[in-house]
Amino acid sequence: MQILDGQATSQAIKDALKLRVAQLILEGRRAPHLVAILVGNNGASETYVGAKVKACSEIGYKSTLIRLDEETSEHKLLSVIGELNDDLSVDGILVQLPLPKHISDEKVINAISASKDVDGFHPISIGRMVQGLSSFTPATPYGIMLLLEHYKIDTKGMHAVVLGRSNIVGRPISILLSSNTNPGNCTVTVCHSHTKNIKEFCLEADIIVAALGRPGFVTADMVKEGAIIIDVGITRVADAGKKSGFSIKGDVDFTNVSPKCAYITPVPKGVGPMTIAALMKNTLKAYLENN
Ligand SMILES: NC(=O)c1ccc[n+]([C@@H]2O[C@H](COP(=O)([O-])OP(=O)(O)OC[C@H]3O[C@@H](n4cnc5c(N)ncnc54)[C@H](OP(=O)(O)O)[C@@H]3O)[C@@H](O)[C@H]2O)c1
């Protein structure tokens, strides 16, 4: 069994981006600029945005964090996005999800200029990705593909079972894994809450991507020997033994599943850091295409 080390792989990608930025600065160009918008005080969102801002500073990107109150109106948020769309000094815009209930995710995602959509959630980005055209690929699925590529895992002809069909993880990773690319060229089964006999599909899988948000859902009896396991899940579970009062759990029972696998991502330090690395790559792409 080999651990797919998202932390180290992410660091290697960030190091390469840092060199690229240093080169741009030597050429007299400005640094790429990412703007993150955080609405409200969700603890997990604070952590994710903080990690994105930190990655920007490690690489040498400029970053701006715009904090808005929980009560901010949808109209106000859309007008902030409109200003950032028009601002030539801004390359990438991301709005941290989830948003407060009174704000429509869909309207907000659609309001971001497709040329600055570094999260890759805009319908134009998704449409281009589906057609295999150059696009901003949603950061978590993109990070998973970068991790498979880094470890030179040849997925051609494999049966991939994706657990979850959200727009940000399950659906896009199922499209990427089935694409005529390397990694890719898998035969993909997508499972969701209405799927009957998930265990039977999983037992047929060469690759399982678990993106449900159900801690420990994938157990050893669901996994065949030599499978590749990608655990996307991040759930905060109460833990009195931790200073924070919680631990982070993945969707896979790592202790019992890992001895059966060829490769497995840990939680934390698996897909999470790769998501950040992918976002950083998308930000450079936006910068290079817009400048
Ligand atoms: N590592 C990272 O960087 C990263 C990034 C994003 C998300 N995440 C984590 O990944 C997990 C999934 O995120 P998400 O945004 O995709 O979640 P989501 O929008 O809640 O989607 C969850 C999906 O799982 C399915 N599902 C839930 N319970 C199920 C069950 N018991 N059996 C079968 N299917 C079930 C749902 O089916 P239905 O469609 O039928 O409801 C849905 O398609 C979460 O833990 C999240 O925190 C991690």
Distance between CA atoms of 134 and 182, rounded to whole angstroms?
15
Please report whether residue 189 resides in a domain.
Answer: yes
pLDDT reported for residue 279: 98
Q: Determine the atom of ligand 1 nearest the C-alpha atom of 48.
A: 3
- Report d(CA 17, CA 82) in Å as an integer: 28
* 211 alpha carbon – ligand 1 mean position (Å): 5
Residue with the bigger pLDDT between 72 and 41: it is 72
The mean pLDDT value of the chain amounts to 97
DSSP class per residue in 175-235: HHHHSSSSS---EEEEE-TT-S-HHHHHHT-SEEEE-SS-TT-B-GGG--TT-EEEE---E
* 191 shares a domain with 94: no
DSSP 8-state secondary structure symbol assigned to residue 252? B
Atom of ligand 1 lying closest to residue 212 CA: 24
Kindly state whether residues 150 and 266 are assigned to the same domain.
Answer: yes
Within a domain: 125 = no
Tens of pLDDT, residue by residue over 205-218, are: 999 999 999 999 99
pLDDT, one tens digit per residue, over 122-143 is 999 999 999 999 999 999 999 9
- Contact residues of ligand 1, CB 6 A cut-off: 140, 163-166, 168-170, 191-195, 198, 211-214, 232-235, 271-272, 275
Whether 242 is covered by a domain: the verdict is yes
Do both 161 and 250 map to the same domain? yes
Residues 255 and 152 in one domain: yes
pTM for the full predicted model: 0.97
User: What local confidence, expressed as pLDDT, does residue 182 receive?
Assistant: 95
84, amino acid identity: L
Residues 80 and 162 in one domain: no
- One domain, residues 239 and 187: yes
Residue 289 lies in a domain: no
Domain total for the chain?
Answer: 2
Which amino acid does the sequence have at 98? P
Answer whether residue 212 is part of any domain.
yes
Kindly give the distance from the C-alpha atom of residue 175 to the centroid of ligand 1, in angstroms, as a whole number: 16
pLDDT confidence of residue 210 = 98
Give catalytic status of residue 52 as yes or no: yes
Question: Do 26 and 15 touch, CB atoms closer than 8 A?
Answer: no
- CATH number for the domain spanning 74: value is 3.40.50.10860
CATH of the domain at 179: 3.40.50.720
pLDDT for 37 equals 98
- From 232, 246, 276, the mutation candidate for ligand 1 (largest count of ligand atoms within 8 A of CB) is 232
Q: Is residue 127 part of a domain?
A: no
How confident is the model at residue 148, as a pLDDT? 98
For 231-241, what is the mean pLDDT?
Answer: 94
pLDDT at residue 12, rounded to an integer? 98
Owning domain of residue 175:
139-272
Question: Is there a single domain that holds both residue 175 and residue 232?
Answer: yes
Report the distance separating Cα 104 and Cα 38, nearest Å. 15
Instruction: For residues 151 and 215, state if they share a domain.
Output: yes
Query: Going by CA atoms, what residue is nearest to atom 19 of ligand 1?
Result: 166
Which two tokens mark 39? 């609405």
Same domain, 260 and 167: yes
pLDDT at 36: 98
